[in-house]
């Protein structure tokens, strides 16, 4: 195993530097002093400059590794698959609060849902440590190359050696200039010895970081990431994120730039607090924009405006007028099941549910979801 080799190497050298035998000779004192100083400086450089840079590197790339890993899962394979699995999950949990969050706080609900999937996936596997170790290996190999190269250059003292190492690391590892500045108040320690101790200190750093990866929780790791994987995944699977101004169904046009937002099938409007007088509405947008009805909303200054001319108010939405379209059995079932809850929540009267909707079963709702998923 690679790690045990490192440990042996480290232990071996550690023993030779190890317990300091002080002898009563000034010559020995000097040797030990120089050795102590070299070792101290090397350890200081690792602790104050290299270790933070390595941790920063890992925190920068770990988020991306998590995103790539999650994208291999079926839920995240396409935007359509994502909608299917999230709606299927909602149906299986049968929680009104979840449906309310899904319809009224879409982005935050979806991000929480994604985060839960990430936590489920990573809490039960050692995958995170595996990724952390990969990024650790990469950053340590940059450092070792840097030390090796800097050693071949002509240099005057430890200061120039360190400067050369930092130059070699370039933008691969970001070394704090403040920490470096403080460290640079240097002595005239021997550069070769310093470089040797540096190599050893880097191995010690690697071992201690590996231990840290093993013991820290996924939550702790996630807090340090530069990019939150749920935000990145949200961008990938949600597309443009715009919602129908009437029923709040998400746009299906995708993530690429598009002038018009659209959805293949809209939802009963009552789910998004649209009402006819005080009653929640069971209509869907495609029928309404074909009929002679009117709507009022903050965008119309609460003035009545014909549905047929909705584009004057919402020019970037394209709602295909088709009176023959009905909501899916899935949403009919949800609207029926939670009619009273939505009404109470919105301070409205419950919708008049068409009687065929009441006959739709949980099973049929699920089948309608599956059918639309496999048709897309």
Residues at the contact surface with Zn ion, assessed by CB under 5 A: 240, 242, 244, 246-247, 249, 251, 253, 261, 266, 285
We find the least distance from the C-beta atom of residue 209 to Zn ion, in angstroms, to be 43
We find the least distance from the C-beta atom of residue 267 to Zn ion, in angstroms, to be 6
Asked whether the beta carbons of 265 and 327 are under 8 A apart, the reply is yes
> In the complex with Zn ion, which residue's Cβ is closer, 206 or 266?
266
> In the complex with Zn ion, which residue's Cβ is closer, 52 or 241?
241
We find the least distance from the C-beta atom of residue 103 to Zn ion, in angstroms, to be 12
In 3D space, the residue among 123, 127, 133 whose CA is nearest the CA of residue 210 turns out to be 133
What three-state secondary structure class fits 227? coil
We find the least distance from the C-beta atom of residue 83 to Zn ion, in angstroms, to be 14
We find the least distance from the C-beta atom of residue 249 to Zn ion, in angstroms, to be 5
Burial of 157: CB neighbours in 10 Å, binned 0-12, 13-18, 19+: middle
Distant-in-sequence, close-in-space partners of 179: CB < 8 Å, separation ≥ 6: 48, 49, 52
As a whole number of angstroms, the distance between CA 85 and CA 17 comes to: 59
> In the complex with Zn ion, which residue's Cβ is closer, 42 or 327?
327
As a whole number of angstroms, the distance between CA 90 and CA 126 comes to: 29
Asked whether the beta carbons of 195 and 168 are under 8 A apart, the reply is no
We find the least distance from the C-beta atom of residue 182 to Zn ion, in angstroms, to be 51
Asked whether the beta carbons of 224 and 61 are under 8 A apart, the reply is no
We find the least distance from the C-beta atom of residue 253 to Zn ion, in angstroms, to be 4
> In the complex with Zn ion, which residue's Cβ is closer, 63 or 250?
250
Q: How far apart are the first and last CA of the chain?
A: 49
Only one residue has tokens 């650790």, namely 136
Query: How many residues are present in the chain?
Result: 376
> In the complex with Zn ion, which residue's Cβ is closer, 201 or 368?
368
> In the complex with Zn ion, which residue's Cβ is closer, 128 or 282?
282
Distant-in-sequence, close-in-space partners of 361: CB < 8 Å, separation ≥ 6: 333
Asked whether the beta carbons of 229 and 70 are under 8 A apart, the reply is yes
> In the complex with Zn ion, which residue's Cβ is closer, 222 or 266?
266
């Amino acid at each position: 195993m690679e790690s045990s080799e490192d440990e042996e190497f480290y232990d071996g050298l550690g023993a030779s530097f190890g317990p300091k035998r002080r002898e009563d000779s000034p010559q020995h004192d000097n040797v030990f002093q120089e050795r102590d100083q070299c070792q101290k400086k090397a350890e200081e450089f690792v602790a104050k400059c290299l270790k933070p840079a390595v941790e920063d590197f890992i925190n920068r790339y770990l988020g991306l590794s998590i995103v790539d890993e999650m994208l291999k899962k079926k839920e995240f394979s396409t935007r359509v698959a994502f909608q299917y699995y999230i709606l299927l999950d909602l149906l299986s949990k049968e929680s009104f609060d979840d449906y309310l969050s899904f319809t009224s706080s879409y982005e935050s609900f979806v991000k929480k849902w994604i985060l839960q999937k990430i936590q489920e996936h990573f809490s039960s596997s050692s995958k995170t440590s595996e990724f952390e170790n990969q990024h650790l290996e990469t950053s340590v190999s940059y450092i070792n190359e840097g030390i090796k190269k800097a050693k071949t250059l002509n240099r005057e003292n430890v200061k120039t050696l360190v400067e050369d190492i930092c130059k070699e690391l370039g933008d691969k590892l970001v070394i704090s200039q403040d920490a470096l500045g403080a460290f640079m108040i240097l002595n005239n320690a021997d550069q070769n010895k310093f470089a040797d101790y540096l190599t050893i200190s880097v191995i010690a750093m690697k071992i201690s970081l590996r231990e840290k990866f093993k013991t820290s929780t996924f939550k702790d790791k996630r807090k340090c990431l530069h990019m939150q994987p749920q935000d990145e995944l949200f961008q990938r699977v949600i597309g443009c994120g715009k919602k129908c101004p009437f029923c709040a169904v998400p746009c299906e046009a995708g993530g690429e730039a598009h002038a018009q937002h659209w959805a293949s099938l809209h939802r009963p409007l009552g789910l998004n607090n649209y009402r006819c007088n005080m009653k929640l509405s069971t209509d869907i947008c495609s029928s309404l924009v074909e009929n002679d009805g009117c709507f009022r909303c903050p965008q119309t200054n609460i003035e009545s405006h014909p549905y047929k001319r909705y584009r004057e108010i919402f020019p970037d939405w394209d709602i295909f007028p088709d009176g023959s379209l009905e909501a899916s059995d899935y949403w009919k079932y949800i609207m029926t099941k939670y009619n009273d809850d939505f009404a109470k929540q919105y301070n409205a009267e419950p919708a008049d549910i068409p009687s065929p909707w009441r006959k739709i079963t949980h099973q049929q709702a699920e089948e309608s979801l599956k059918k639309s998923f496999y048709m897309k």
